[in-house]
């Protein structure tokens, strides 16, 4: 092992459970990455989620098929207006598309998506996970690609 590999911190691992029904990777969300009142991610029980926005998320709580869907693409109304609006907002503000994420998951599976996310969102400077809501790495300040 070379000296650079020993000093470069490892990125936090993204788990399968961190991928929300809408295609958001909760491991990249500022709500999950912050130190205080950390959100455990959309797939945890609503009462365990600290952030009010996540607790009231109409996409997360959607029950069009009798219970919340694991992923929105399993719904007959996919993509609904709420999901399209969320996707447009995230593409415009943060350069990430929930619809593209869901399409990748649907075509290649969740494990391949998580592996792609781990590589795509690792800071090239320090190796830590980047935050989708920030234009630079929260640890080393290097700009996102």
pTM of the model: 0.82
pLDDT of residue 44: 73
CA 62 – CA 88 distance, rounded (Å): 19
Using a 10 angstrom Cβ sphere, with 0-12 exposed, 13-18 middle and 19 or more buried, the burial of residue 80 is middle
Task: Give whole-number Cα distances, 45 to 55, 72, 78, in Å.
Answer: 9, 18, 23
Per-residue pLDDT of the chain (145 residues; tens, 9 = 90+): 444 444 444 446 788 888 999 999 999 999 888 888 788 888 776 555 555 566 677 787 777 655 555 899 988 889 999 999 999 999 999 999 999 999 999 999 999 999 999 999 999 999 999 999 999 998 899 998 7
For 102-114, letters b (16+ CB in 10 Å) and e give: bebbbeeeeeebb
Tokens, residue 35: 């130190």
Domain range list for the chain:
14-120
């Amino acid at each position: 092992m070379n000296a650079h590999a020993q000093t470069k911190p490892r990125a936090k691992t993204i788990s399968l459970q961190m991928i929300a029904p809408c295609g958001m990777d909760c491991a990249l969300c500022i709500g999950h990455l912050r130190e205080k009142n950390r959100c455990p991610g959309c797939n945890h029980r609503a009462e365990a989620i600290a952030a009010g926005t996540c607790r009231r998320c109409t996409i997360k709580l959607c029950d069009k098929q009798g219970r919340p869907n694991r992923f929105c693409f399993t719904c007959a109304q996919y993509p609904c207006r709420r999901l399209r609006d969320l996707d447009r907002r995230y593409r415009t503000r943060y350069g990430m598309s929930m619809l593209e994420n869901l399409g990748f998951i649907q075509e290649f599976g969740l494990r391949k998506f998580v592996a792609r996310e781990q590589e795509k969102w690792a800071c090239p400077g320090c190796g830590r996970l980047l935050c989708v809501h920030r234009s630079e790495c929260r640890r080393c300040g290097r700009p996102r690609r």
